């Protein structure tokens, strides 16, 4: 039996974006266009939306209605 966990597309996009935000490769205040980011990752928009939602739940993104997701400022001390 294999002892590996299969990673979903959502998880892969989420982890990559999380690392990009945490390392400040994507700075606070940057707007993330769903269409552009999906194209960059080569994925459909649904897994991207799910990844964005996970990041928003962790307060790393917020959504501007009818616009784009925006990277929030954060503190490494925050729990």
- pTM for the model stands at 0.82
* Residue 79 domain-assigned (yes or no): no
44: domain CATH number? 1.10.10.10
- Report the distance separating Cα 65 and Cα 1, nearest Å: 46
What pLDDT is stored for residue 72 in this prediction?
92
Q: How many C-alpha atoms does 28 have within 13 Å on its Cβ side?
A: 7
* Residue 20 domain-assigned (yes or no): yes
* Residue 4 domain-assigned (yes or no): no
What pLDDT is stored for residue 2 in this prediction?
56
pLDDT along the chain (79 residues), means of 10: 74 96 94 93 94 95 85 68
Beta bridge partners of 31: 70
How many domains, in total, are found in the chain? Answer: 1
What pLDDT is stored for residue 64 in this prediction?
81
What pLDDT is stored for residue 79 in this prediction?
43
Burial (Cβ within 10 Å: 0-12, 13-18, ≥19) of residue 43: middle
- Do residues 42 and 51 make contact, with C-beta atoms less than 8 angstroms apart? no
**Alpha helix positions (H), 1-79:** 9-22, 34-41, 45-57
């Amino acid at each position: 039996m294999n002892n590996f966990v299969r990673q979903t597309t959502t998880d892969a996009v989420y982890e990559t974006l999380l690392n990009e935000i945490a390392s400040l490769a994507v700075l606070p205040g940057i707007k993330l266009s769903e269409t552009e980011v999906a194209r960059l990752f080569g994925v459909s928009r649904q897994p991207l939306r799910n990844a964005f939602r996970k990041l928003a739940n962790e307060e790393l993104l917020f959504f501007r209605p009818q616009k784009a997701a925006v990277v929030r400022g954060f503190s490494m001390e925050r729990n």
